[in-house]
Structure 1
Amino acid sequence: MTPPFSGDRIILNDLGFYGYHGLFNEEAKLGQRFFIDLQCGVDLSAPGNTDEIGHTVSYADIYDVVKLTFETKRTKLIEALAQNIATALFDAFSDIDWIIVRIRKPEAPIAMVRGEAAIELHRVRPA
């Protein structure tokens, strides 16, 4: 078995969403932008050899699960949002062995002139 977080992966970067996640009332009322970077550990040897979509996980389907999860349940913490995304992806795609999800919050309620607050979770499929 390949060690976690190495080997083949499907990558989706800079997925932008507008949502109402956060601790503060203003975040729940006004909302803000979020950006998600995602890596999913999937053995890509079969689609690489066959050139057939049926032998891989569709990144469009991954995006749909991320979008639905992001929009379905408001969370106070982006850590919880990231965990919800990882869990939903493991539930939806049995071929995903591990996930790295980073959520970036450029308008975090802190006094920064430039930059963003972010978290990154590394998860391996539960046994």
Structure 2
Amino acid sequence: MGIIKVENIRVFANHGCLKEETKIGSDYRVDLKIKANLQASAQSDDLGDTVDYVLLNKIVREEMHQPSHLLETVAKRIIVRILKEDPLVTKATVWVSKLNPPIGGDVEMVTIKMTERRKNLQ
């Protein structure tokens, strides 16, 4: 087994419960931690034998561009797609952070974290 991390994916998107948030948008940060068997790719040196982090980045960007009220919804969509589109992934963790959230204070970011395992694992 091994871990692939894709960190600090920066995206501008339109999520939030307030009309202003979905209208003007905000900056977000997404981080991924993917667990997969990396032994085959370590031997073969072939991209087809590993988790392609270009695909992971693409999934994040596409899902972040679909407006949602809650960050939890976006995180769930990202995880579902990763597990669906890459059969090598056995476990996925995603952090979605809203930078400078409009919550009435000096807050750098609000982050939600979600993890799921592939269900058909023994």
Q: TM-score, normalised by structure 1?
A: 0.89
Tell me, yes or no, if structure 1 residue 107 matches structure 2 residue 100: yes
User: What is the aligned counterpart of 1:27 among 12, 18, 21?
Assistant: 21
Matches within 5 A, 1:32-71: 32-71=26-65
Tell me, yes or no, if structure 1 residue 126 matches structure 2 residue 111: no
Q: Which residue of 2 aligns with 1:3?
A: none
Quick check: 80-89 or 56-65, which moved more? 56-65
Unaligned runs of 5+ in 1: 1-6
Q: What's the CA shift for 1:126?
A: 2.7
**Counterparts of 1:28 and 1:126, CA distance in 2:** 34
Tell me, yes or no, if structure 1 residue 81 matches structure 2 residue 70: no
Say which SS state the counterpart of residue 84 (structure 2) adopts.
helix
Q: Is the 8 A contact 1:82 1:103 kept in 2?
A: yes
Identical residues among aligned pairs (%): 22
Count of paired positions: 120
Q: Is the 8 A contact 1:66 1:89 kept in 2?
A: no
Q: Which residue of 1 aligns with 2:12?
A: 18
Q: Amino acid of the residue matched to residue 67 of structure 2? A: R
Q: Amino acid of the residue matched to residue 56 of structure 1? A: T
Unaligned runs of 5+ in 2: none
Say which SS state the counterpart of residue 88 (structure 2) adopts.
coil
Q: What's the CA shift for 1:114?
A: 4.1
Q: Amino acid of the residue matched to residue 120 of structure 1? A: K
Say which SS state the counterpart of residue 2 (structure 2) adopts.
coil
**Counterparts of 1:21 and 1:33, CA distance in 2:** 10
Q: TM-score, normalised by structure 2?
A: 0.92
**Counterparts of 1:74 and 1:95, CA distance in 2:** 28
Q: Amino acid of the residue matched to residue 100 of structure 1? A: T
